[in-house]
Structure 1
């Protein structure tokens, strides 16, 4: 069983597309998969309860199937920072509760590849004292960084990689995701930016997803490769 924490350089960097595509790739290779989005804001009201589109995408790619509550135990309606959404709902996010829940899920639902998707970037708050990055730190999870390819991405990516290393975790790989098609339109300059990322980020590039008219695991799959699968140490 191998597990990774997926973070991004920013909100809307492409984390869910990358996470769901990696799960789909593993499933296509005959591996069992699990995608978790422990905390999600920006959820819609349904007869079954609050549902978040990112979490639903990960649920679809979890094989064998799991319940929505397994994928996303903390869902909030407002599309704002999760700790603020939780506060508006009269709740408080707590690192211990999240780590306990995620750890129990990984233990009770062992899969060949499990991916835990964060929210926003590396330092997004959970509460006044704890951040989302404390989840992989507490669990000792290697990290996959999704780099939203746009103007400013070099700084965002390198600072994120430095923060991950400073927190004592391994950056297992990074994925480039073209979020600004105009940025990629100038091929020579775009290639130069990718070259800087490949030279300066201390991890292999798992792929670069171009700007897709219809982004989905099916359309993105040709551009990604799986990270190394390694046993998950007992939590």
Structure 2
């Protein structure tokens, strides 16, 4: 089965200033974010990626370009609107401190499946289209490159949390329990029986073990021996 590395973009000035950037144009990585993206790209350089799929927003494209630049080969760089940031509608561009005073804030925190942003999309719709996009690319890349294929999807915090919640079999109302930091890497495999979440929110560590042959589709009873070199 193929392996997808879910990569969040590096830090932006909006992140640092507590602004909800949403889909606003011109939101780029700051100096810290560029360093984070470079560090993550070096980590992923140990793994031959067959493709890098990115949200169309600039901060993700910058991060994705860093990942491609650190690959020995030249993996395809694909823009996928299905993993773009949530459409926060009227919330876009406002400070998190201000938004925390809104009645909807508590819904987003406690029952995100019922949250719909005024003038934007619902969190349930965000999850549905992002999961569909990731699973679609995963199936296509495995069909094209084989079960050992490894690829990266560069997206946003809420998008990656929503994809991880689906893979974990968690209700969307529980997805705020998942942390996804800037430039972090989470690892998912979509097996024949169920998704397998291999890692979440990692910021360091050797990934060269992903070069090895893909594991069997069945979960090892008792936990197994783990990946060699991990």
TM more than 0.5: no
More strand as a share of residues: 1
